[in-house]
Structure formats: structure tokens, C-alpha cells
Amino acid sequence: MTGTWELNGLLQRRLWIVTGKGGVGKTTVAAALGLLAARQGLKVLMVETHGLTHLAELFEAEGVGYEPKAFKNGLSLARIDPEPAFQEYVLRQVKFEFLYNAVFNNKYVRHFIDAAPGLAELLTIGKIWAFVEDEARRGKKPLFDLVIVDAPSTGHSLSLLTVPQVVVDAVRVGPLKNNAQQILALIRDPQRTLTWLVTLPEEMPVNEAVEMDEKLERQAKVGVGPVLLNSLWPEVLGADSLQDLKKAKVENPMLHLYRQRAEQSAFYRDRLRERLPGRQVLDLPLVYQTKHPVRIAESLSESIRAQLTGVRP
Amino acid sequence: MSPEAKKGVLHGLLERKKVLICCGSGGVGKTTTSAALALYASSLGYKTIVLTIDPAKRLANSLGIQKIDFQEKEIPKAELRRAGIEPKAPLFAMMLDTKRTFDDLILKYAPNEEKAQSILQNKLYQHLSNMIAGSQEYMAMEKLYEVVQERDYDLVVLDTPPSRHALDFLDAPNKMSAMVGDSVMKWFLKPSLFVSKSSLQLLDRSVKRVFKTFDKVAGFEFLQDLSQMLVSVSGLLEGFQDRAQKVELLLHDKDTGFLLVAAPQPIPLREAEYFYRKIQDNALPFAGFIFNRVQVLPEAGKPLPEGLKAKTRSEYQEMAYLFKSLAQRDEAEIEAFQRRMEFSRHGFVFKVMPQLERDIHDLEGLYELGQNLFQA
């Protein structure tokens, strides 16, 4: 999928997966996307994986766990841990809790999940699928219009998105195979699922974003939405002002550093667009006016909205 | 000041430690820091190797070589001299590759070639060996142990793989050991169980229940594949376990030091804090913190001259405000971090590294970074 995205089209999807290299500000951008969707009136569930609590801490939300917890203004939060996901999954198949308990106690489950390769990933993506599809399969209205996943950094995200295919290939029959196929049907449907890549205007993050973009399309075969270029250097000094300062021979370390940062940022902003032709790149300037994480996310959210609707704040 | 007096805590660390393990979350400059440490140590006369993961080959280029191999590779002395560095001791680099290390380990511990091949050819193994929880971390430890035991380096610097969670890394040896001792795993590891579905009849009732449950969830054939893989690997587990215990001893050795690399943003700092506590809980030898990418307030110089446009002045003020708020934010984050941890800098590395002006792309850049790291 290429070209220009419209906010309304993006909001019609059911699942957004936010990914990127470590340290690019993925969680803050995911929070910004959550705020954006919730402001448009959607019921949004934001999900963290692998026992992380970064989103919950950013929002200063207490008591976020495995069950979705309404937080504020249409926004709910949940955290997927492999162990309760395993219990839930097995219980769905065997139906009887006493049997489950007879078979597993927590220690065994922990070790089994550790030992069986890919199981934690499969359980996580399976639970994400359940958040999107469960109610619909029971003929009910979904609890959430949109599920947003603050996915782990690129390599681990790719494992998450490719593990259902491994299961489909490895298992000949049985419920596990059926479930893996259902998961694939959801994540590979670009009308329902989109990935958002977050990156920075620097060498390594840009290279990794370009690689990941290809892997998402070729290996994971998922739809890729706009690419979010985070922490762009704020161009507070316009070209006129720079010219004016140059004429007056103003030179000092601060101004020097400013120009260097601005140059580097602009260079990689162009490089990213060159290397991802056809992808829409949204520029998210570094927010320096506040250090409050939620306000930073709000500011980014406004910036994304403005670029997707063409309406400036 | 005499050269002696200028020596920082890191110099002292080199005198005491043979292994430095750099940990931290992704994107904090861990790889570059590890390489700069190693390069500078070699320039001081320590025969050094840096074990790293370098998917983008950027570090290889900075070190002046085509690529870093999965074998030890010396950085050519001519390259170092060209960069104005007098190599007092040789510098080596080696790349970590999980899949390959895992394969090597299987070849090493398998009772025979046939058994080794049956594991390596298993389709689940092929697809999933990189998804075994903690395997990357475990393999990094494994390589570290091998290099420390079998070579004669004065210093080994390990750039750890980016963990989805700091925990994975420290728990990796334990996890591998725990797997062996677990009774559910032992059931899985009985080869006779999966000869046929009818062999289920031979099991006692409670074990039978386990397998029926798994059969219902996963399907019998998948279980067979999984079991086959686990059975094949089981022969190696004791070797693994023995090795894991030795790795653990190495990690606790007084010659080892853990350096935590972080950046002054809330998430990397929280990960660093978590990691620090984990190191304390496990009684591992902590060596200190390195904070990368810190915005230090640059000098603004003289007041602006007369005659500039009003717009220029106000935009210039905004620029000054931009730098000031970024510098204040970073300083406050690091201070709060130190307070929260009740951390005393005494005897530990506590190094605040200014945000680099440009990406490091050559030996000169790495060396300069090394100098800054070692400055008192």
C-alpha cells in the first residue's frame, strides 16, 4: 500500500501495531496514536507485551494487568503476559479448569513456556487476535473499535508477526493450526491490520527502518501504514534568520551545534524518503516545550492529526 | 596536572577487571561504547577483544575492516596507525551470532554426528531456535565463556544483545538449567512415549492427562515433532547445564564488571534502574553507569550585536531556550535517577557523555570517544 493516507481510512482498521528500533520513542508515539484515535471518538485498547509497563507508566495508570482496564476518555490499557495467556488458551480448549490445574501448576507453565520455542510469541499474538475478534465471533459488538499494540523492538516484533506462519507450516491438523490460520487472516488483511514504523533522523535507525519495512512486507506480509519520523530537530531558526546571523558574523558553539543538528536531521529526513519511496513519512519534531510525558504524547498526537487531515492546528 | 592525576575510574577498572559486560536497553549507544572502550584499552597496552552484534556493519566500518567475522579478527595495526593511534597491544573484534553459536554447541555436545544432524535438521529447530526465550542472551554468555577460558586476552568487552527485558540476560543460564530439572520436561523427554499414540496407554493416569490435554490443544502430530526435537536436545542438556553453571561463576567473578549504559530518557533509565537492582539482587559485580546522548548546554558566546532583525532575535532566543530546556531535562533526569537509586558514585564509574555532534564512522571518532570515556 503506498500513497497518501487519510485519517478516516486509518481509523477504520481494527489493529495497529507500532514498531521500531529500541530507543526511537516507540512507546510515546504509540501513546500519541492512542490519544489521537480516542479523540476521534473511538474506543481504543492499548496493549503492551512481554510484561513491560512503559505505557502504563507514561500514562501514570495504576493497576494495569492482563484484563483491559478503562483509563480515560475512551482509552483502555492492558498488558499481555505469556503465562495467563497460556492458561486462558488451554482452558478454551479443554474447558475444565480442574483439569488445567491438575495438569499444570505455575512453575511448570513457566518452564514450559520458556522451553517451547516461539510459544510466548504465539500466545501474545493469539491474545492480540482475541482482543480484536472475540466478541465478533460470538455475534456481539466488539468491546474496542481499535486495538493498538506497543510492540517490542524490531527483531522481536518480527518474531511476533511470523510465528503463526511457522505453526501453520509445522502443524498438520488440530486446533493450534486453525488458530494460527485465523491469526494470519487478521494480521495479513491490510483492511484490518496496519503496522506503523517509528524511526529517528539518524544513520542506524533509518537503515533499520528501511530493512524492517521490507521484512514487514515480504516476510510478515502485513500492511504498512505511514512511517513516523520522531524527534526531528526543531527548525526554530528560519533560513532568513540564519542568513541575518551570518551577515552579522555571529558565531558561537551553540549556533554551530544548532546548524549541525539541523543539517543532520534534514539529511536523514530526505534519506528516509529516498529509501522508502511511496511510503508516506510523517515528521514529528522534537517536543522541547514540556518534559511531561503525557503532554509530549499529546503534542505528537496533534502533529500526526494535522498531517493526516491537512488541517493545521 | 600529571598524567597520573588525570586518570579516571575507568583506568582503575582496567587494572582490576578482565571482563567488562556492557548492558542496557536498545538505542543507547551500547555497541559504540563497547568498541570505544576496547579500542582505548588496547591503546593503553591491554590485549583486548570486543564481542559484539553489529547487524548494520557500521561498527566494522568504523573499525576500518570490511566486516566483523564470527571468528576473532585483529584490527590491522596499519589502520590504527593511519588513524594516529599507536597500538601498544593488539585489538580484536568478533561478532556474535545466536543461530551459529547454538549450532556449534549442538555439534559439540551431541553424542554423535547422527544425533547432531537430527537436531539441526528438525524443522521446528530450524524455524524457532532464535525464538527460544533468552537464547540470544545465553549464547552471548556462552561465547564470552569460551573466549575467556580459551584465549589469553587481558580484557574482554561484551556488548550484550538488546533484551526485550533486562531480565532475560541475567536469567539465561538459570533458565537453561531449570529446563533440565523440570519434571514436565522430563515427561516430554522420554523417547518411548511418542512412538505411537497407543503408547499413551502405558502411562500412569496423571501423565496421560497431561498428554491428552496437549493433544487436544496442539494436535498429536505437532506434539510428536516437538517431542522429537526436545528428545534430541535432551542429550545435550546436561552439557548445557554444566556449562551454564560455569558461565554463572564467571559472571560472579571479581575480575568481571557490569557496566550499565543508558540514555537520559525515562524508559532507558527505568530499564537501567531495573537492571541495577537485578545486579544487586544477584550479587553480581557492578562497575558503574555510562550515560550517553546527554545534551550539555553549549556556550552561547557574546550577546547578539545590534542591527539584527527582530525576527532573528526572537528566533535566536527560541534556539537558546531549546538547548536550555533539553539540557535541563537531561540533567534533571540523571539527578532524579541517582536520587531514586540512592546511588553513591564512590568507587564506581558514573560518566555523563555529551551527545555526539556526528555519527561515529571511523577509528578517529571511536578513539576520541574512548578518550572522553577515560577522562577523569
Task: Please report residues of B whose CB lies closer than 8 A to that of A27.
Answer: 267
User: For residues B351 and B260, what is the distance between their CA atoms, to the nearest angstrom?
Assistant: 10
- B240 Cα to chain A: minimum distance (Å): 13
Give phi and psi for B305, each to the nearest 5: -70, 165
Nearest to A19 by CA among A223, A164, A189: A223
Residue A94 in this model has a pLDDT that exceeds 90? no
Half-sphere exposure of A118 (CA within 13 A, CB side): 21
DSSP B72: -
Residue type, B224: Q
Range B306-314 average pLDDT: 95
Residue A168 in this model has a pLDDT that exceeds 50? yes
Most A CBs within 10 A among B123, B136, B292, B322, hence the mutation to make, goes to: B322
- A171 Cα to chain B: minimum distance (Å): 5
Instruction: Report chain B's mean pLDDT, rounded to a whole number.
Output: 79
Grid cell at residue B116: 547432531
- A175 Cα to chain B: minimum distance (Å): 6
Q: Is the model more confident about B71 or about A183?
A: A183
User: For residues A119 and A142, what is the distance between their CA atoms, to the nearest angstrom?
Assistant: 27
Residue B113 is inside which H or E element, if any? helix B113-121
Q: Which residues contact A285 (CB under 8 A, 6 or more apart)?
A: A231, A232, A233, A234, A235, A303
CB contact under 8 A, B131 and A293: no
Pairing of strands A15-20, A193-199: parallel
Would you state the pLDDT for residue A103?
Answer: 58
Range A19-25 average pLDDT: 91
- B285 Cα to chain A: minimum distance (Å): 26
Residue type, B249: L
* Strand ranges of the sheet holding A224-232, from the earlier edge strand across to the other edge: A69-72, A75-79, A44-48, A146-150, A15-20, A193-199, A224-232, A281-285
SS (H, E, C) A88-109: HHHHHHHCCHHHHHHHCCHHHH
Q: Interior CA angle at B36 toward B340 and B68, to 5°?
A: 120
Range B303-330 average pLDDT: 96
Grid cell at residue B33: 561504547
Residue type, B163: S
Helix, strand, coil percentages in chain A from 3-state DSSP, rounded to 5: 55, 15, 30
Task: Please report residues of B whose CB lies closer than 8 A to that of A204.
Answer: 56, 58, 359
Range A249-278 average pLDDT: 95
CB contact under 8 A, A175 and B263: no
What percentage of chain B has pLDDT greater than the value 90? 37
Range B98-115 average pLDDT: 74
Residue B340 in this model has a pLDDT that exceeds 70? yes
Would you state the pLDDT for residue A102?
Answer: 59
DSSP A57: H
CB of B202 within 8 Å of a chain A CB? The answer is no
Q: Which residue of A has its CA nearest to B183?
A: A108
Question: Which range, of A208-217, B113-122, B253-262, averages the lowest pLDDT?
Answer: B113-122
* Strand ranges of the sheet holding B155-159, from the earlier edge strand across to the other edge: B73-74, B91-95, B48-52, B155-159, B19-23, B256-262, B286-294, B349-354
User: For residues B253 and A115, what is the distance between their CA atoms, to the nearest angstrom?
Assistant: 28
Grid cell at residue A182: 485465523
Residue B352 is inside which H or E element, if any? strand B349-354
B326 in helix, strand or coil?
helix
CB contact under 8 A, A99 and B222: no
Q: Which of A117, A253, A258 sits opposite B129 (nearest CB)?
A: A117
Q: Extract the runs of DSSP E, i.e. beta strands, from A211-276.
A: 224-232
Q: Extract the runs of DSSP E, i.e. beta strands, from chain A.
A: 15-20, 44-48, 69-72, 75-79, 146-150, 193-199, 224-232, 281-285
CB contact under 8 A, A93 and B217: yes
Would you state the pLDDT for residue B271?
Answer: 85
Distances (CA, A) of A157 to A208, A274, B245: 13, 25, 31
- Residue B132 confidence class, pLDDT cut points 50, 70, 90: low
Q: Which residues contact B332 (CB under 8 A, 6 or more apart)?
A: A291
CB contact under 8 A, A117 and B28: no
Would you state the pLDDT for residue A107?
Answer: 59
Q: Which residues contact A31 (CB under 8 A, 6 or more apart)?
A: A46, A55, A58, A59, A150, A293, A294, A297, A301
CB of B207 within 8 Å of a chain A CB? The answer is no
- B15 Cα to chain A: minimum distance (Å): 33
- Residue B274 confidence class, pLDDT cut points 50, 70, 90: confident
Task: Please report residues of A whose CB lies closer than 8 A to that of B303.
Answer: none
Give the pLDDT confidence of B147-163 residue by residue, as tens digits: 999 999 999 999 887 66
CB contact under 8 A, A293 and B124: no
Would you state the pLDDT for residue A59?
Answer: 94
Q: Which residues contact B250 (CB under 8 A, 6 or more apart)?
A: B19, B144, B145, B148, B256
Residue A67 in this model has a pLDDT that exceeds 80? yes
Task: Please report residues of A whose CB lies closer than 8 A to that of B225.
Answer: 170-171
What percentage of chain B has pLDDT greater than the value 70? 70
Q: Is the dihedral of CA B186, B190, B196, B202 positive or negative?
A: negative
Range A66-74 average pLDDT: 91
Residue B286 in this model has a pLDDT that exceeds 80? yes
Q: Is the dihedral of CA A146, A147, A149, A155 positive or negative?
A: negative
pTM recorded for the entire structure: 0.87
The yes/no answer on whether domain B9-172+249-374 falls in CATH 3.40.50.300 is: yes
Total beta-carbon pairs less than 8 A apart between chain A and chain B: 208
Instruction: Report chain A's mean pLDDT, rounded to a whole number.
Output: 89
Residues 238-277 of B with CB under 8 A from A: 263, 265-268, 270
Domain chopping of chain B, boundaries: 9-172+249-374
CB of A22 within 8 Å of a chain B CB? The answer is yes
Query: In the CATH hierarchy, which fold is given to the domain comprising A7-233+280-309?
Result: Rossmann fold (3.40.50)
User: For residues A122 and A183, what is the distance between their CA atoms, to the nearest angstrom?
Assistant: 10
Give the pLDDT confidence of A169-228 residue by residue, as tens digits: 877 777 788 889 999 999 999 999 999 999 999 988 999 899 999 999 999 999 999 999
CB contact under 8 A, A171 and B219: yes
Task: Please report residues of A whose CB lies closer than 8 A to that of B320.
Answer: 254
Most B CBs within 10 A among A171, A256, A260, A296, hence the mutation to make, goes to: A171
Distances (CA, A) of B290 to A31, A50, B21, B345: 28, 26, 12, 12
User: For residues A73 and B314, what is the distance between their CA atoms, to the nearest angstrom?
Assistant: 38
Q: Is the model more confident about B102 or about A55?
A: A55
Q: Which residues contact B187 (CB under 8 A, 6 or more apart)?
A: B193, B207, B210, B211
ipTM: 0.90
Q: Which residues contact B181 (CB under 8 A, 6 or more apart)?
A: none
CB atoms within 10 A of CB A93: 16
Residue A264 in this model has a pLDDT that exceeds 70? yes
